[in-house]
Amino acid sequence: MKLEELSAWLTLNRVVMRTKGMTPELIVELKERLAEAGSATGLLGLARARHQKSAVLGRIAPELRGFSQHAEVEREAALLEESGVSLITICDKEYPTRLASIFVPPLVLYVAGRLESPAGVSIFDERLPAVAVVGTRRASHYGMEMAEAIGRGLAASGIIVASGMARGCDTAAHRGALSVGGLTMAVLGTGVDMFYPAENKRLYEEIKESGLVLSEFPMGTAPLPMNFPLRNRIISGLSLAVVVVEAPLRSGAMMTARMALDEGREVFALPGHAGSKKGSGTNKLIKDGAVLVESAEDIIKVLSSNQVGAGVSQRQIKKRQNLNNNSEQPRLFSEQVLEDQQSSQKAAVQPVARPTSACTEEDLIIGFLDDGPLHIDSIVEKSGIAVQRLSGLLLDMELKGVVAQKPGKLFIKKIQVGSS
């Protein structure tokens, strides 16, 4: 790809993600306009036109006209060349077919590592099965052992293990795949040149050497909280199925499972210990129709039955309804982030009543306070919520008796009598 075209793609990706304009309508129109223009460079010229006829593409035209990060884009283009990172765009034939079919596919993928299997076939080839193995960061000994065993068993059978390289179950699944010389891919919530958490530096290098790491975020992007919900849709989108090893009700793994159901993927779950919060999510999944599995062999048996990847079955529809409509299942802040992005264009065309995200932001704050008191500045940093809005949310939560403020702008979670 020529430097000018590469820079155009990097610019387009930055603008689309920054303006929260990544809707299905925009992605479809971008692909159509790219085909008409013949290049991303030509598309930028169209989008920057003063008289933009397209209501959808016109949403990003002002941002493109006022784009000022040209120096950053030039540095990023040079860094891609120096580091050997590939940029795969949604218009390239190398773009993963399964991922292209999801509700809001990423515009570009930054990919580092091995792009071909030992047999010389692209790792993204739809004929190569990939299964996501996910779970809680705070995994128990049981969760770590099972995630590693499943990663090892799947990889030994020639299945690509996909996960997010987070600490806990993700790390164990990657290590299990690597232990038998299998293929694994890590989808990052940072730039592809970053590794997070810090203790996974060696794992990051091992995955790049024998598998691949990928991301939709520009090089150098830090691990911001709002990045990970977006990352999760790519994990499920690349995979035929998602295995949830161990997860509480409120977790990224549970969100990934619901995304998988929405895209017609199969969901597997391991039974958790009764009464354990860390297994409450997987037990809930099983109650709502996810396939109970205890080993990689169980998963492989279902995959080989040709029931996966053939569209949304009636059983999957029932599971989706159970998971998405059950009033006892709390909504996640990360789900709201995606919902806001997916429905933003529809809301602009035809205003509809949408639920406020206040309650989901409260859930996010409560999650951070589970580990103990936090200063308001730390909550801002972790959540990405503007300080003015956060102050209002915290005040409202104090009035509800959910949190308490201590001297020095420290906030703690209040214990609720009778809570589980």
pLDDT value of position 415: 61
The helix (H) or strand (E) run that includes residue 212 is strand 212-215
pLDDT value of position 53: 64
pLDDT value of position 64: 81
CATH 3.40.50.450 intervals, the chain: 84-325
Nearest 10 degrees: Cα torsion 33, 37, 40, 41: -140
Cβ-contact 291, 305 below 8 angstroms: no
Strand order in the sheet with 86-89: 86-89, 108-113, 212-215, 184-187, 160-163, 130-134, 241-244, 266-269, 291-292
Q: Does domain 84-325 have CATH number 3.40.50.450?
A: yes
pLDDT value of position 56: 65
Q: Among candidates 211, 201, 73, 188, which has minimal Cα distance to 130?
A: 211
pLDDT value of position 168: 95
Q: Which two tokens stand for residue 336?
A: 């709201």
d(CA 336, CA 356): 9
Degrees to nearest 5, angle at CA 16 with 251 and 368:
25
Give pTM, 2 decimals: 0.72
N residues, the chain: 420
d(CA 245, CA 53): 49
pLDDT value of position 149: 97
Which regions of the chain are under pLDDT 50? 307-321, 323-324, 326-359, 417-420
What percent helix, strand, coil does the chain show, rounded to 5?
Answer: 50, 10, 40
Q: Does domain 358-413 have CATH number 3.30.420.40?
A: no
Q: Among candidates 69, 20, 379, 407, which has minimal Cα distance to 218?
A: 69
Cβ-contact 12, 43 below 8 angstroms: yes
33-62 pLDDT, tens per residue? 888 888 999 888 877 765 666 666 777 777
Span between the terminal Cα atoms of the chain, in Å: 55
CATH 1.10.10.10 intervals, the chain: 358-413
362-375 pLDDT, tens per residue? 888 888 887 678 88
